[in-house]
Amino acid sequence: MIEKKKVFWFILLRLLVVTVFLVTTIYLDVHTYDVGGKVAGKVLLRLIGATYLFSLLSLVALRPATPRHVRTLAYLQIVWDLILVTVLILVSGGVTSHYAFLYFLSIISASALLARSQAYYTASLCVILYGAILDFQYYDKLAPLGLDSAPAQQWGAGYLFYLIFLHGASFFLTAVLAGHMAERARVSESALKEKAIDYEELERLNTSIVSTIDSGLLTINTAGRIRVFNRFAELLTGVSQTDAYDRPLAEVLPGIAGFESSFFEPGQGEFRHGATDGRELLLSFKSVPLLDKEGGTVGALFDLHDLTEMKRMASELKRADRLAALGELSARMAHEIRNPLAAISGSVQLVSLRPWVDEKDQRLFSIIVRETDRLDGLLRDFLFYAKPNQPTKVKLQLRRVIVDLCALLATDPRLERVEIDNQVPDDLVVQFDKDQCSQVFWNLLVNSAEAMSGEGQIWISGGVTRENGGRSEVCIRVRDNGTGMNPEDVKRVFEPFFTTKKGGTGLGLATVYRIVETNGGRMTVNSTQGKGTTVTLHFPS
């Protein structure tokens, strides 16, 4: 297929050559040698005008031309050049003209624009046209055009045949060499185009892979500045590719700065990163150096993964295993303790009824009974924690449950100065055991009230959210503006008997955790010391 660009530049080159040579010819003809006289001058001026007109019309026709029409235009350019050179030879003396070499340009143009075979055809036409000029001039057939036969006859037929043979051999030799060079150039150009297409396809494939791979990929140059930052890296860090580009890696991911000395060596590590939504993520990375063809380091590639959820699940699994083992052991111990505790309480009550017991001993007996009852209640709560009842799940409207619970808690002195803001939607439904659901929110509200020393505000909200995996879940949040907890306490908040409150049993949140887990949900706690705590319950939708 012939390219428009080649034809365009060929037309411009022809205009330049024609202008230079024909203007020079006019100058020599008019001011120096008077080769063709006034007639030749007029013909040359008309020839220049016709060439410019043909070239301009060709340029206009080239822009909207289809590939087939471009090929036709290319053939017309060669034909016009042959006519142009032939007329130039005729008006500049025929056999004595010095412009026969311009046929070489037509042959070279044919090989460049068309193909090797067209170069041979053009060479053949050049031989025919040049031979016809010399023959017709020799036999005085060009006298009407102002060409005298005397020079041709003076040189003789043998010399004219020699000129035709010499020029013909030169024309065909030019066709062979130009055709060969043009063919090689076309093959090289085609190979370059194929390679360029391969590179473009490779680049598109590479971009597609990098942008869709399910891990954060980024590259840096030797200055430590980010050059590639894929879509998953954007999701992990909360930084867009536009904002990350050409920024130092340690600035975009401050947690990785500790590994800066080994950026350009194979390595791996873990670091914490504060996401834009306030969450703290645990990210892992693997790095490999990027090398050029000489083996020199030109940058580094980083593969990022989010370990936050995996670590959380592993931590929850460990906690569940630990709590299960602790629960089994504690349940057995509690059973063993409750029996003698009941015997002690019963015996003390019987002894306290004896008439000889004085008032002082009666008070002591009352303390013993009260404390054994307290211990029995604690053991009862712990037994429920260790082995909760199997839930009977029903569809519950959470807002209704919380409204009823708030009405009961209104008379509790611990929540007397606590304002509860129930923002749970009316249509939010969850599968939950009704009694256990009430106990969960009772414990959570009482726990929040105690964390605020009985004065403050509690917000309860909920809704359906969608996880990264596409599953939807019901989330209920209980948030207070109490004293909050430090990170170390948050890690242990679900352990039995762990408490940060004076006089607490440490079973409130632990029991809630077991109930939520038994009902197929999960529970998370976020707390900031001095600002408050948010407990989030997650249930399948």
Rounded (10°) angle between helices 308-352 and 508-518: 120
Rounded to whole angstroms, how far apart are CA atoms 130 and 326?
A: 111
DSSP letter for 32, please.
I
Length of the chain: 541
CATH 3.40.50.720 fits 393-540, yes or no: no
pTM higher than the cut 0.85: no
CB contact at 8 A, 287 and 273: no
* Greater model confidence, 2 or 58: 58
Least confident of 46-55, 131-140, 468-477: 468-477
Q: Which two tokens stand for residue 230?
A: 């894929």
CATH tag for 213-306 (out of 3.50.50.60, 1.20.1420.30, 1.10.510.10, 3.30.450.20): 3.30.450.20
Residue 364: predicted pLDDT: 76
- Mind listing the pLDDT tens digit for each residue in 440-453? 888 888 888 888 87
% residues pLDDT > 70 (the chain) = 82
Give the residue from 382, 326, 369 showing the smallest Cα distance to 505: 382
Tokens of 334: 């509690």
DSSP label at residue 390: P
Question: Which pLDDT value is given to residue 26?
Answer: 61
Higher pLDDT, 129 or 502: 129
End-to-end Cα separation, the chain, in angstroms: 63
Long-range (24+ apart) CB contacts under 8 A made by 306-310 are 306/216, 306/236, 306/281, 306/282, 307/270, 307/282, 307/283, 308/279, 308/280, 308/281, 308/282, 308/283
Tell me what the pLDDT averaged over the chain comes to: 80
Which DSSP helix (H) or strand (E) runs through 200?
A: helix 157-212
**Confidence label for 71 from pLDDT (cuts 50, 70 and 90):** confident
Residue 140 has pLDDT above 50, yes or no: yes
283, β-bridge pairs:
271, 306
The whole-number pLDDT of residue 460 equals: 92
Tell me the CATH architecture of domain 311-386.
Orthogonal Bundle (1.10)
pLDDT at site 477: 92
- The residue among 345 and 243 whose pLDDT is bigger is 243
Spatial CA neighbour of 419 closest among 492, 370, 482: 482
What's the rounded mean pLDDT across residues 42-48?
A: 75
CB burial of 43-75 (b: ≥16 within 10 Å; e: otherwise) equals bbeebbeebeebbeebeeebeebeeeebbebbe
Domain boundaries, the chain: 4-194, 213-306, 311-386, 393-540
pLDDT value, residue 468: 47
Q: What is the pLDDT of residue 383?
A: 66
Which residue is listed with tokens 């600002």? 531
Tell me: pLDDT of 16 over 70.
yes
Distance (Å, whole) CA 164 – CA 129? 10
Which of 167-176, 359-368, 482-491 is the most confident on average?
A: 167-176
Nearest partner of 175 among 73, 78, 95, judged by Cα:
78
172-191, pLDDT tens digit by residue? 898 888 888 877 877 777 77
Which is it for strands 393-397 and 429-433: parallel, antiparallel or unpaired? antiparallel
pLDDT at 229 over 70: yes
pLDDT band at 38 (very low <50, low <70, confident <90, very high): low
| Share in percent of the chain as helix, strand, coil (round to 5) | 60, 20, 20
Q: What is the pLDDT of residue 22?
A: 64
Lowest mean pLDDT: which of 162-166, 309-313, 317-321?
317-321
- Report pLDDT digits (tens) over 407-442: 888 888 888 888 889 899 988 999 898 888 888 888
Segment 195-217, tens digit of pLDDT: 655 556 656 656 666 666 777 88
Q: What is the pLDDT of residues 380-415, one digit of tens each?
A: 666 666 666 778 888 989 899 888 888 888 888 888
Average pLDDT over residues 318-325: 70
DSSP code per residue over 41-98: HHHHHHHHHHHHHHHHHHHHHHTT--HHHHHHHHHHHHHHHHHHHHHHHHHTTGGG-S
Q: pLDDT category, 305, cuts 50, 70, 90?
A: confident
Confidence at residue 175, expressed as pLDDT on a 0 to 100 scale: 87
The residues, any chain, with a CB within 8 Å of residue 363's CB and separated by 6 or more, are none
Q: Which stretches within 213-258 are classed as H helix? A: 231-237, 241-244, 249-252
pLDDT level of residue 193 (50, 70, 90 thresholds): low
Q: Do domains 213-306 and 311-386 have the same CATH topology?
A: no
The answer to whether residue 498 scores a pLDDT higher than 50 is yes
Tokens 């080994």, located at residue: 262
pLDDT at 35 over 50: no
Q: Look at residue 217 and give its three-state secondary structure.
A: strand
Q: Is 360 helix (H, G, I), strand (E, B) or coil?
A: helix
Could you tell me which residue, 220 or 470, shows the higher pLDDT?
A: 220
> Which pLDDT band, with edges at 50, 70 and 90, does 536 fall under?
very high
Q: Contacts by 122-125 with C-beta closer than 8 Å and gap 24+?
A: 122/78, 122/82, 122/175, 123/168, 123/171, 123/172, 123/174, 123/175, 125/82
- Whole-number Å distance between alpha carbons of 509 and 494: 6
Q: For residue 281, what pLDDT band results from cuts at 50, 70 and 90?
A: confident
pLDDT per position as a tens digit, 347-364: 777 777 777 767 777 777
CA distance linking residue 36 with residue 91, whole number of Å: 6
Backbone CA torsion sign across 387, 388, 392, 397: negative
For the segment 307-319, the average pLDDT, to the nearest whole number, is: 78
Looking at the predicted structure, is the pLDDT value of residue 37 above 60?
A: no
